[in-house]
Chains A and B, each alone.
Chain A
């Protein structure tokens, strides 16, 4: 079933890709093939493979339970949020929280996770910024 859904998704993606290819504007420079030929080939391969997967699906993969799936979604969301927060509150604070969350969800006790968060954040700051001179995201506090 999963493969059939993915096959449908692939077909839709291929359709979208064809449409997006068809609207690629020509420029004043031209070559024999033009900018659309190769994307059309890629789209065709995508469509054929999706059709095959749709018609001949593999055995069902083992999906995580709903609870674990929510874990994945949350972890992804936290990382998105981290990316957004980096340039706003700075590397050090954002990293403490992101590391805390991931460590906690991987099974540390909250206090241990917080210590790991602080240690990771400070460790990376010292090694990569102070010693190696890499530029990290700066927040309003300057770190």
Chain B
């Protein structure tokens, strides 16, 4: 089997002392960032990109570090959901529903252990899914010409809001803002200066990392300042977790839940416009409807109510890597940030990546497997360590986060102008969040803008200026159809789905979280 020999090569790449150490560090930092409310996976990875890059880690090493952070954050999000009823990151929202009641019944340790195992199962099988499906998708992607790629990028924007998007005009506007910013600098095709107004700092365009760190990390700091949320997330008593042993009978009883949730989660990760949050929401709803129609145990501390969303969101995290690696089109905020990692390293994801740099792809996938086992080890016996982090007050934590962002961007560019630009993006990000304009399409626009334009121009070059080439093949028409459906359907169904989410979790976080994107 081709895949297995590739995977074996991948493990050979990943099994060096340096890479294992980086994976461990990434898992640790990731779990930490996932656990802390206000520092989700997207934020965490964004802050670390410039630092990993300035430290001169090679492509494989940086990718191993940062994807371990990504997987780790998905594990970590559950900790504060269970202990404090505050989701550490968006996908962990559904884990609150049964996790917190369990903690109140004195079964926090059991809930943490079960959810840790569920996270492992979800992401382990999703990584296998990635191994099996990504190469197949690459074969399809080889059929894509520039017109199809242009359609694909449009689809990524149209479906990004997902079914919960509340206002499609605002999502589209956000995408246009991002694309507009991407146009700044010299045109890659003809060399014309665009939107630089003779300003020398703008000739190379705006570095997407500056925008990402500003929009995510700095705006988060401003949100905390606005609400004076300076206290620690947990009171000292709340970090008690009790016995840590998972109940094996519960585990064996819930294998059906695990299988269903992993499949649902993985599919929502792969499909455009779904993502980890929807993955955990769907898994939870399906389990609730199949196992507990009358609502007797779910929502009151049923272990299966933790296993389902945790399997679901971790499987979705793995699934989201499929379109990102094989097509270069991310489906969520966090994978958009991972795309930024690749672009920063001058790696263009897509079919060519699998053909020309198999060591990177398979090394990365092997690292994901390794990270998974490390995370299981970190999250079962050592979970007490992470719960203690919740005692650190945010008035200390957030300034540190801000300063590390500054260190990263300054280290990367060494330019006062760029650092100020980052602060400007931070303030703009705060304003946009207030107005309910999602930030993820802005980021994606900045990341994909040039690639999208290049593909459009290549297509028209081929057709000698005939715009109908953009709809010139059945494949392209199919992609456009999905794009239109993905953009229009939420207008009719979005409110309904969101209402359902809110009914399950009737706190204002839903609103906050849905606005923030994943």
- Asked whether A and B interact, the reply is yes
Residue A98 lies at the interface, judged by CB distance under 8 Å to chain B: yes
Give the segment of B379-387, B398-406, B493-501 that binds chain A: B398-406
Q: Which of B173, B420, B436, B453 has the most CB of A within 10 A?
A: B173
**Interface of chain B, main secondary structure:** helix
Residue B353 lies at the interface, judged by CB distance under 8 Å to chain A: no
For residue B157, give the distance in angstroms from its CB to the closest CB of chain A.
10
- A136: chain B residues within 8 A (beta carbon): 407, 410-411
- A72: chain B residues within 8 A (beta carbon): 222, 225-226, 427, 430
> How far, in whole Å, are A84 and B187 apart by their CA atoms in the complex?
30
Check A108 against B407 for contact (C-beta < 8 Å).
no
Check B189 against A29 for contact (C-beta < 8 Å).
yes
Check B457 against A52 for contact (C-beta < 8 Å).
no
Residue A53 lies at the interface, judged by CB distance under 8 Å to chain B: yes
Check B396 against A32 for contact (C-beta < 8 Å).
no
Interface set, chain A 32-79, CB cutoff 8 A to B: 32-35, 37-39, 42-43, 45-46, 49-50, 52-53, 56, 58, 61, 63-64, 68, 71-72, 75-76, 79
Residue B192 lies at the interface, judged by CB distance under 8 Å to chain A: yes
- A29: chain B residues within 8 A (beta carbon): 189-191
Interface set, chain A 89-130, CB cutoff 8 A to B: 91, 95, 98-99, 102-103, 105-108, 116, 120-121, 124, 128
Interface size on B, residues (CB 8 A): 68
Contact of A49 among B170, B226, B394, B435 (CB under 8 A): B170
Check A105 against B225 for contact (C-beta < 8 Å).
yes
Residue B506 lies at the interface, judged by CB distance under 8 Å to chain A: no
> How far, in whole Å, are A94 and B148 apart by their CA atoms in the complex?
50
Check A99 against B230 for contact (C-beta < 8 Å).
no
- A49: chain B residues within 8 A (beta carbon): 169-170, 172-173, 176
Check B190 against A39 for contact (C-beta < 8 Å).
no
Interface set, chain B 168-204, CB cutoff 8 A to A: 169-170, 172-173, 175-177, 179-180, 183, 187, 189-195, 197
Interface size bucket, A side? 35 or more
Residue B294 lies at the interface, judged by CB distance under 8 Å to chain A: no
Check B453 against A38 for contact (C-beta < 8 Å).
yes
Residue B117 lies at the interface, judged by CB distance under 8 Å to chain A: no
- A71: chain B residues within 8 A (beta carbon): 225-226
Given known contacts A86-B419, A108-B395, A134-B51, A61 and B180 CB-to-CB distance under 8 angstroms: no
For residue B179, give the distance in angstroms from its CB to the closest CB of chain A.
5
Residue A12 lies at the interface, judged by CB distance under 8 Å to chain B: no
For residue A69, give the distance in angstroms from its CB to the closest CB of chain B.
8
Check A87 against B416 for contact (C-beta < 8 Å).
yes
> How far, in whole Å, are A50 and B437 apart by their CA atoms in the complex?
12
Check A76 against B465 for contact (C-beta < 8 Å).
no
Residue B231 lies at the interface, judged by CB distance under 8 Å to chain A: yes
Given known contacts A64-B226, A68-B226, A108-B396, A79 and B407 CB-to-CB distance under 8 angstroms: no
Which residue of chain B has the shortest Cβ distance to A79 in the bound complex? Answer: B423
Given known contacts A38-B183, A58-B436, A31 and B461 CB-to-CB distance under 8 angstroms: yes
For residue B445, give the distance in angstroms from its CB to the closest CB of chain A.
9
Given known contacts A6-B435, A49-B172, A135-B411, A27 and B179 CB-to-CB distance under 8 angstroms: no
A-contact 0/1 string along B340-376, CB 8 Å cutoff = 0000000000000000000000000000000000000
Residue B54 lies at the interface, judged by CB distance under 8 Å to chain A: yes
Interface set, chain A 1-35, CB cutoff 8 A to B: 2-3, 6, 10, 17, 20-21, 24-27, 29-35
Which residue of chain A has the shortest Cβ distance to B515 in the bound complex? Answer: A61
Check B189 against A35 for contact (C-beta < 8 Å).
yes
> How far, in whole Å, are A141 and B170 apart by their CA atoms in the complex?
49
Which residue of chain B has the shortest Cβ distance to A74 in the bound complex? Answer: B225
- B172: chain A residues within 8 A (beta carbon): 45, 49
- A43: chain B residues within 8 A (beta carbon): 176, 180
Check B183 against A27 for contact (C-beta < 8 Å).
no
Check B396 against A116 for contact (C-beta < 8 Å).
yes
For residue A31, give the distance in angstroms from its CB to the closest CB of chain B.
5
Check B420 against A80 for contact (C-beta < 8 Å).
yes
- B234: chain A residues within 8 A (beta carbon): none
For residue A143, give the distance in angstroms from its CB to the closest CB of chain B.
14
- B195: chain A residues within 8 A (beta carbon): 20, 24, 39
Check A24 against B193 for contact (C-beta < 8 Å).
yes
Residue B377 lies at the interface, judged by CB distance under 8 Å to chain A: no
> How far, in whole Å, are A121 and B361 apart by their CA atoms in the complex?
38
Contact of A107 among B231, B414, B435 (CB under 8 A): B231
> Could you list some 23 contacts between A and B, CB below 8 A?
A2-B434, A3-B435, A17-B180, A24-B193, A24-B195, A32-B461, A33-B460, A35-B187, A38-B452, A42-B176, A49-B169, A49-B172, A58-B170, A61-B435, A72-B427, A82-B406, A83-B406, A83-B423, A98-B402, A99-B400, A102-B399, A106-B224, A106-B229
| B residues in contact (CB < 8 Å) with A | 51, 54-55, 166-167, 169-170, 172-173, 175-177, 179-180, 183, 187, 189-195, 197, 218, 221-222, 224-231, 394-396, 398-400, 402-404, 406-407, 410-411, 414, 416, 419-420, 422-423, 426-427, 430, 434-436, 452-453, 456-457, 460-461, 464-465
Give the 5 A-B CB pairs with smallest separation, nearest first.
A107-B230, A106-B395, A49-B173, A106-B230, A83-B419
In the complex, besides A45-B175, A72-B222, A136-B410, 4 extra interface pairs with C-beta distance below 8 angstroms are A25-B192, A32-B457, A45-B173, A56-B169
| A residues in contact (CB < 8 Å) with B | 2-3, 6, 10, 17, 20-21, 24-27, 29-35, 37-39, 42-43, 45-46, 49-50, 52-53, 56, 58, 61, 63-64, 68, 71-72, 75-76, 79-80, 82-84, 86-87, 91, 95, 98-99, 102-103, 105-108, 116, 120-121, 124, 128, 132-137
